[in-house]
Structure 1
Amino acid sequence: MYRTTLTTQLLLGASALIAGLPATADILGESKASLELRNFYMNRDYRQNGATQAKAEEWAQGFLLRYESGFSEGPAGFGLDSLALLGLKLDSGGGRSGTQLLKQDKETRRADDEYAELGLTAKVRVSQSVLRLGTLQPRLPTVSYNDARLLPQTFRGVHLNSKEFSGATLDVGRLSQVNQRNSSDYENMTVSNGSSGAIGARTSKRSNAFDFADLTYQWNKELSSGYHYGELHELYRQHIVNLVHLLPIGEQQSLKSELRFAKADDAGESGIDNGAYGAMLSYRLAAHTFGLAYQRMTGDSGYAYIAGSDPYLFNYVQFGDFANRDERSWQARYDFDFAGLGIPGLSVMTRYVKGTDVNLGANSPTGSEWERDTDIAYVIQNGPLKNLALKWRNATVRASHFGNDLDDNRLILSYTLPIW
């Protein structure tokens, strides 16, 4: 009863705050609100001998109410955004929880019936710069929120986005806490140990400050580059450089090439010492896109990123990140858009990623792993069910000497209803 009452209060509170914003023409004229309904079924079958759990299988319903106000009039415009999240359990059970769709009881490991969060973000706009304070969902090379389950990951902090100079985009800020995708509690941040747990960070220490500075410059229509800095206080410092080039070849043809380099060092007692190199080529021919990627880790640890977030890696895919110590990996990918065959809204993606040379420590054999993913998605284009989206995601994962062997299936049904 308490949980239901709390959830109702959160959703009503968000609506009241939205209604209570100053009624200026700009705020109302530029504002927008939507409600996303996300139905998520997930089945993960563990295939290795001696697995502590045979499978994880859960079904849940999510509600994501988003509101973005406009800005008040004047040299400095003020506004307020809100994000109300609610997750409901539809099916789970003893021995089947752990998909990260739902919040778990820390003692019994059983899934909670529901969980909820209300996030508010105050914002100020001056010229071509916007300062946001409160609940944040950054999408940057240094830190990127995860939205691969029922509800998205969120952060608390301050973020300045500036486009004062033509072609240049500057993002600076500080994050203080994180709320994971299957949680309603904010906590301090720590370093990811990798999806497989093979030689990642050697610490469980947490930090309440992540500073970031990202500068991207668009040289022309075809070429852009960026430098990015992130520091999780007392854990790691990281520098990232990237270069993106898009070459138009002819009608309905293009070649996209991207290079990435990252270097992370220990800023305390994490044991972080990593260099990450990556390159990807994507050739588009009408409805077809063919991609090849290569990724390599060097140093005494795996890739450094905030636990639970999305790392800036080509071979971070449905399950694995292929970012363990000394790991080398390559990816082959194919995408097809069925709009070319007269079926707009239907698309398919398939890829294969192979990783080798994983350093598991002295007197241990090197590890290897591979993952095969397939996504089939369809978005209804017209009629009363327009924008209803259905996606099936399948992954097969196998590892040698470390990690998990598993088969993973996800069925996601989502519909976004514009409120205004």
Structure 2
Amino acid sequence: MSMNYAFPVASRLAVCIAASTILTPACADIFQDSKASLELRNYYFNRDFRQSGVAQSKTEEWAQGLILRVESGYTEGLIGVGFDAIGLVGIKLDSSPDRSGTGLLNTARGPGGRAEDDYDAVGATGKLRMAKSTLKVGTLLPKMPVVMYNDSRLLPQTFRGAWLNSADIDNLSLDLGRLDQTKLRNSSDNEDMSVYNGVARNIRLGRHATSDRFDFGGATWRWSPSLSTAYHYGELEGIYRQHFLTLNHKWTISEGQTLSSDLRWSRSLDDGGSNVDNSALGAMFTYSANGHGLGLGYQRMSGDTGFANINGTDGYLVNLVQINDFGNQDERSWQARYDYNFAALGVPGLTFMTRYLSGDDVTVRSRADAGKEWERDSELGYVIQSGPLKNLGLKWKNASARSNFSSDIDENRLIVTYSLGLW
């Protein structure tokens, strides 16, 4: 996909910016309705896998991230014009060649295999709006079942492409678009897309290892404020295509008590250049009352391969957690989760979560017996609610994972965030 399609939007925007210097009413809203924010993200990551007997026993790095987001309003008229921009900077605070590979710092290496001192990226997006329909062209951060950008490290993953969303029909949201490049969370460069292929995904590729075309579309229907269903389709040209059905429901049992249901089913097939063949069923039910939350989940893979998703993205699976997603071939897994919001005790901003997941029946080509794995996660977070440090967030994430077909892992992450509205 050529980015030449962005030129008409860019030229109209340039005309508007020039005209705005004499305060033409048609362009005033593009600036009056604009907003900008700066997010500071300080991230320490430690992953220990010395018990696996590999040469490098752990990864450990510390870095500072800056994420600048700018969103304009729209010009007046039948078709409104606007623009968005994002600036990303990652700064190394501590790293060494024998501890690299956390995903916080640039994959490019300097002399001696050392991580570079910093890396950055800039993205721009032109946008058009007519009624309740919006077309965005340029840098995108898609978040839908068939393609979910990854934001689990220092800087977010981004994509390049075009995305049309329409909400002109009440209770119906429609999406249609194409992506041609991605910038991974630890890179400054755009590149073609590939399919994630973990230890036991068992995906075989033909002559197409990467693709510069991912087409997607979807429809979400809100039956009521508490019930919605959706269908989405995605196709990574020459590698795989995917159908995705979802249902979300929230039942208010009584005042202060709810039961939430999250059901997901997908069917992934090859697109002429792989052996992708997977059906994924997932269900998560969460009971909430008086600050407590108790969740139970089940996930089942079937077919000749594991789940298919674009490399670097978050696969939309109910058992996607801190380290694993339990999406291997034939894997069946369950999850038990507990959350507590301390606002119920008069301490707003303080939250706690813990969960345990177990998976088995994994088809591992290098083993005669079935693969098994489990993971245990805990998170403790606090966001300051008032005063000069309002919006300062602190989070500790701890995880342990054990497997008979992959590395055993113990992990800690310490994250400090601060968001500042610039205008």
Q: 1:110 maps to which residue?
A: 114
1:94 and 1:110 in contact (8 A); partners too: yes
Q: Which amino acid aligns with 1:413?
A: V
Kindly provide the CA deviation profile for residues 28-47 of structure 1, in whole angstroms up to 9, marking residues without a partner as x.
22110011111000011114
Match of 2:84 among 69, 81, 86: 81
Report what 2:181 is aligned to. 177
The match for 1:211 is 215
What TM-score do you get using the length of structure 2 for normalisation? Answer: 0.92
Distance 2:343 2:50 in 1: 37
Instruction: Identify which of 145, 148, 167 aligns with 1:144.
Output: 148
Q: What is the aligned partner in structure 2 of residue 94 from structure 1?
A: 97
Is this contact kept in 1: 2:201–2:327, CA < 8 A? no
Give a deviation string over 1:153-207, Cα, whole Å, max 9, x none.
Answer: 000000001101000001110000100000001100000013xx21332237000
Is the contact between residue 129 and residue 164 of structure 1 (CA under 8 Å) also seen in structure 2?
yes
Number of equivalent positions:
400
Unaligned runs of 5+ in 2: 1-13, 21-26
> Matched residues in 1 for 2:383 and 2:360: separation?
37
Which position in structure 1 is the counterpart of 2:200? Answer: 198
Q: What does 1:1-150 align with in structure 2 at a 5 Å threshold?
A: 23=20, 24-105=27-108, 109-150=113-154
Counterpart Cα distance in 2 of 1:260 and 1:243: 7
Deviation at 1:269, TM superposition (A): 2.3
Q: TM-score, normalised by structure 1?
A: 0.93
Identity of aligned residues (%): 53
1:173 and 1:211 in contact (8 A); partners too: yes
1:366 equivalent in structure 2: 370
Query: Counterpart amino acid of 1:65?
Result: L
Report the equivalent of 1:11. none
RMSD: 1.5
Tell me the residue number matched to 2:7. Answer: none
Amino acid at match of 1:100: G
Unaligned 5+ runs, structure 1: 1-16
SS at match of 1:185: coil
- How far apart, in 2, do the equivalents of 1:22 and 1:100 lie? 44
Q: Distance in 2 between matches of 1:393 and 1:270?
A: 36
Match of 2:4 in 1: none
Q: Does structure 1 retain, via aligned residues, the 8 Å contact 2:135–2:162?
A: yes
Say whether the 8 Å CA contact 1:394–1:409 is kept in structure 2: yes
User: Alpha-carbon deviation of 1:363?
Assistant: 5.8
Aligned-pair CA distance for 1:104: 2.7
Native 8 Å contact 2:265 2:280 kept in 1: yes
Give 1:409's aligned residue: 412
Q: Which residue of 2 aligns with 1:290?
A: 294
Contact 1:200/1:303, CA 8 A, preserved across alignment:
no
CA distance in 1, matches of 2:170, 2:135: 19
- Paired with 2:201 and 2:387, the residues of 1 have a C-alpha distance of 52
**Greater CA drift, 214-223 or 294-303:** 214-223
User: Which stretches of structure 1, 4 residues or more, deviate above 4 A after TM superposition?
Assistant: 19-22, 106-109
- The equivalent position to 2:164 in structure 1, one of 160, 164, 182, is 160
Q: Secondary structure at the match of 1:95?
A: helix
Question: 1:89, CA displacement in angstroms?
Answer: 0.3
Q: Secondary structure at the match of 2:391?
A: coil
- What amino acid sits opposite 1:35 in the alignment? L
1:257 to 261, 270, 285: 261
Contact 2:109 2:115 in 1 (8 A): no
1:46-102 CA distances to partner (integer Å, 9 max, x unpaired)?
143321211100000011111000001111000010000000000000210000000
> CA distance change for structure 1 residues 362 and 44 in 2, over 3 Å: closer, same or farther?
closer
Query: 1:317 maps to what in 2?
Result: 321
Asked if 1 retains the 8 angstrom alpha-carbon contact of 2:276 and 2:304, the reply is: yes
Q: Distance in 1 between matches of 2:244 and 2:227?
A: 17
How far is the alpha carbon of 1:21 from its aligned partner? 7.5
Query: Deviation of residue 244 (structure 1)?
Result: 1.4
- The residue aligned with 2:6 is none
- Residue 342 of structure 1: aligned partner: 346
